[in-house]
Structure 1
Amino acid sequence: MTDVFDQAAERADEMLSDALFEQQRRAGLTGQTIQDSAHFCAECDEPISDARRAAYPGVHLCVDCKYQQEKQARRTRGY
């Protein structure tokens, strides 16, 4: 029998997994694997970490370049 803390931890894991899947689905990445990810950023040619590649299968930008891309998109949209 599990206690309340174990149940809460399991639920938190499920919610994080669901959120990650939803984020990947919105980005159109659900059919891709870590092997589809770039090892080096398409913008700056810096290495992309294995953790990022695993979290976002199909990724082609490093964290910094993705941040800059999103920042520019927000400016363009007027946010």
Structure 2
Amino acid sequence: MATGWAQDGAVQEQIDDTIKDAVERARSKLPAGDSLSHCEECDAPIPEARRKAVPGVRLCIDCQTARDNEQHNASSYNRRGSKDSQLR
């Protein structure tokens, strides 16, 4: 049952799109390729255990933590509050 101008299933479509976007964003952030022996930002050695645990690792733990915190603060996008999603 639709309410207002929304089509039947519009809420579920919005939820599905949000999940799909989150999965694609997470997959794009996965490291790929050979791991580096030294951090590409600060040149600190990357421990062998980390290189084995995270294939394709390019940053030391400190630099990776800083990057994750920056990306978390910048990626707070609320699809429900977007005018574009309300017009669909």
**Greater helix proportion:** 1
Q: Label 1:63 to 1:28 Cα distance change in 2 as closer, same or farther (>3 A).
A: closer
TM-superposed deviation, 1:57: 1.1
Residue of structure 2 in register with 1:57 after alignment: 55
Q: Matched residues, percent identical?
A: 43
Unaligned runs of 5+ in 2: 1-26, 78-88
Contact 2:31 2:56 in 1 (8 A): no
Tell me how far apart the structure 2 counterparts of residues 53 and 74 of structure 1 sit (CA, whole Å): 23
Q: Label 1:28 to 1:63 Cα distance change in 2 as closer, same or farther (>3 A).
A: closer
Tell me how far apart the structure 2 counterparts of residues 43 and 71 of structure 1 sit (CA, whole Å): 16
Aligned CA-pair RMSD: 1.7
Tell me how far apart the structure 2 counterparts of residues 39 and 60 of structure 1 sit (CA, whole Å): 8
TM-score normalised by L of structure 1: 0.55
Residue of structure 2 in register with 1:70 after alignment: 68
Whether 1:39 aligns to 2:42 is no
TM-superposed deviation, 1:78: 3.3
> Which one has a bigger Cα radius of gyration?
2
Tell me how far apart the structure 2 counterparts of residues 60 and 28 of structure 1 sit (CA, whole Å): 8
Unaligned runs of 5+ in 1: 1-25
Q: Which amino acid aligns with 1:38?
A: L
Number of residue pairs matched by the alignment: 49
